A = this chain, B = another copy of it.
Amino acid sequence: MPKRSFGPKTMVFPHPVFVIGSYGQDGVPNIATASWAGICCSQPPAVAVSWRPSRLSYDNIMQRGAFTVNIPSTGHARQADYAGIYSGRAGDKFEALGLTPVRSALVDAPAVGEFPVTLHCRLIHSFELGCHTQLVGEILELEVDEAVLDDQGRPDIRKIDPLIYASGDRAYYGVGELVAQAFAVGRRQG
């Protein structure tokens, strides 16, 4: 099949949907949704999230040196989308969305109480890339709802039911069927 060229587009499949928690100067908790993000190091365990410096979250994270990465379920699509559209400068998004800010015991940032997965992160790097600056957080702790663990006590992606963002049709999708075990299906036989 022939290929079509789309020019220099920031399109990969899948993009994640992370809802990032931070505190403002006045102590108001804020959330903002980010898809330009991902794990970036195993030791120290770290996650990178890119921000336009005009965003309130950028200021908050730079000032407090901390953030949380909260992973919404498909049932939270409206809240995740809202948190990406509107600025915390216009009002408290936790309050507007009926979500609970839970003070992290480890870092100076709020977790989203209703979401099944939270990473508690301490800012360790900022890299200016152009219109975005990448903020890298050391992951101090992964917290997961007991309701979304599998029978071996591991976080179960089917129960977490995270959102996936597709930049082609600008839509959210869920996770589908199990395809294969990793580090197994590709092993040489015999």
Chain A interfacial positions (CB closer than 8 Å to B): 1-16, 18, 35-48, 50, 69, 71, 74, 77-86, 117-119, 125, 127, 129-132, 134, 136, 138-147, 149-150, 152-158, 160, 162-166, 168-188
Q: Are B145 and A3 in contact (CB under 8 A)?
A: yes
Bound CA span A132–B164, Å? 25
Pick 25 A–B contacts, CB within 8 A, sort by A: A3-B143, A4-B144, A6-B141, A8-B140, A8-B142, A10-B42, A11-B155, A12-B69, A12-B71, A12-B119, A13-B117, A16-B38, A40-B134, A44-B130, A81-B187, A84-B182, A85-B183, A154-B169, A157-B164, A157-B171, A164-B164, A170-B181, A170-B182, A172-B181, A172-B182
5 pairs of A and B residues whose beta carbons are closest in the complex: A81-B186, A38-B38, A82-B186, A174-B176, A176-B176
Other-chain residue from B1, B173, B183 in contact with A177 (beta carbon distance below 8 A): B173
Q: How many copies does the complex hold?
A: 2
Q: Are B180 and A172 in contact (CB under 8 A)?
A: yes
Given the known A-B contacts A16-B38, A39-B15, are A180 and B81 also in contact in the complex, defined by CB atoms under 8 Å?
yes
Q: Which residues of B contact A150 (CB under 8 A)?
A: 168-169
Bound CA span A130–B117, Å? 25
Q: Are B125 and A127 in contact (CB under 8 A)?
A: yes
Other-chain residue from B40, B85, B131, B155 in contact with A41 (beta carbon distance below 8 A): B131
* Chain B residue at minimal CB-CB distance from A129: B41
Q: Which residues of B contact A74 (CB under 8 A)?
A: 179
Other-chain residue from B3, B39, B175 in contact with A144 (beta carbon distance below 8 A): B3
Q: Are A46 and B139 in contact (CB under 8 A)?
A: no
Q: Are A186 and B11 in contact (CB under 8 A)?
A: no
Q: Are B127 and A180 in contact (CB under 8 A)?
A: no
Given the known A-B contacts A80-B186, A157-B13, are A8 and B168 also in contact in the complex, defined by CB atoms under 8 Å?
no
